[in-house]
């Protein structure tokens, strides 16, 4: 038996509780992991509170991130005792996730824990930090360098934004603006979408690059083609959920090179496993900020 947050019922009529679950109920997979730490992301908050239809099947264990130790494996890439990390892949939505003391998963979704990070520090990074690194890599691939000029990060107090700022060394953008604004930024990491993203693109320098990875301000994009055809601006879409394994491994290696492990400790809000359900509601109400790390090991 192991403890897990379990979402039961049906869409629109779900019940969420922390309960003991028989290991026989774990879903299919070729790697079993003793989970040490998970996180509480915005998507997890939506799933637990039922404010959006995140869970695609019931019952569901939420948690899009996990870090832990392999206990059983028939996957050639992993053996018992290996420390591993998982981000995304529909875990916590279509497949039981990390807010449990055990997880059974496809080994293709896992990557080794990257030294010098501990499991706790890896979850301080989580999907948010890994996504931020993908954004920074995209800016670099398109020629943005430190000497290119200022980099804008929208939503800099959130998970992706705060890590992006830490890796890279706030303006009011939510109101409708001009199709072209003053050339201000050489690059940008945008987690907002909507009018914010439109204004970001309008304010880019010639050959500026925008890495877009979120939709906190909306899915619409009320922009014109002016920044793209008059200034050669590049808009890069960043998907972290289904990113290929090679991209993930490289992103985590770069995080180990570019992000101070000590800095992570200042970004962590640690919440006890028993309090995670309540914390999800507080997260959705804007009462918790930073990277929420959940120690789940028994």
Domains of the chain, residue spans: 2-113+267-295, 127-237
- pLDDT digits 0-9 by tens, 87-96: 999 999 999 9
At 33-79, the pLDDT tens digits run: 999 999 999 899 999 999 988 999 999 999 999 999 999 999 999 99
- pLDDT, tens digit (0-9, with 9 covering 90-100), for 204-260: 999 999 999 988 778 999 999 999 999 999 999 999 999 999 999 999 999 999 988
Distance CA 154, CA 212 (A): 10
Distance, in Å, from the CA atom of 94 to the CA atom of 53, rounded to the nearest integer, reads: 11
167: pLDDT confidence band, cut at 50, 70 and 90?
low
pTM of the model: 0.88
Q: Indicate the helix (H) or strand (E) that contains 294.
A: strand 291-295
Alpha carbon distance 236, 8 (integer Å): 37
Classified by CATH at the fold level, domain 127-237 comes out as Rossmann fold (3.40.50)
Pairing of strands 151-153, 185-190: parallel
CATH number of the structural domain 2-113+267-295? 3.90.180.10
């Amino acid at each position: 038996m192991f403890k897990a947050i379990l979402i039961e019922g049906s869409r629109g009529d779900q019940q969420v509780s922390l309960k003991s679950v028989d290991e026989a109920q774990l879903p299919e997979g070729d790697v079993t992991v003793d989970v040490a730490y998970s996180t509480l992301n915005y998507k997890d908050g939506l799933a637990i509170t039922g404010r959006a239809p995140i869970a695609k099947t019931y019952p569901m264990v939420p948690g899009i991130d996990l870090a832990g130790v392999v206990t059983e494996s028939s996957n050639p890439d992993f053996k018992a005792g290996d420390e591993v990390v998982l981000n995304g892949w529909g875990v916590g939505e279509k497949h039981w996730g990390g807010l449990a003391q055990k997880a059974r998963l496809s080994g293709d979704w896992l990557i080794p824990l990257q030294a010098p990070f501990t499991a706790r520090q890896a979850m301080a990074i989580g999907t948010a930090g890994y996504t931020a690194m993908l954004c920074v890599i995209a800016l670099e691939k398109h020629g943005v360098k430190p000497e290119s000029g200022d980099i804008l990060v929208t939503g800099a107090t959130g998970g992706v934004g705060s890590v992006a700022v830490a890796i890279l060394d706030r303006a009011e953008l939510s109101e409708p603006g001009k199709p072209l604004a003053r050339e201000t930024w050489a690059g940008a990491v945008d987690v907002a979408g909507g009018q914010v993203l439109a204004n970001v693109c309008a304010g880019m320098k010639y050959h500026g690059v925008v890495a877009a990875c979120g939709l906190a301000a909306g899915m619409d994009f009320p922009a014109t083609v002016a920044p793209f055809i008059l200034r050669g601006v590049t808009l890069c879409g960043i998907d972290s959920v289904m990113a290929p394994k090679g991209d993930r491994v490289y992103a985590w290696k770069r995080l180990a090179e570019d992000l101070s492990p000590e800095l992570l400790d200042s970004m962590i809000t640690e919440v006890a496993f028993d309090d995670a359900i309540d914390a999800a509601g507080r997260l959705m109400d804007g009462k918790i900020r930073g990277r929420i790390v959940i120690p789940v090991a028994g």
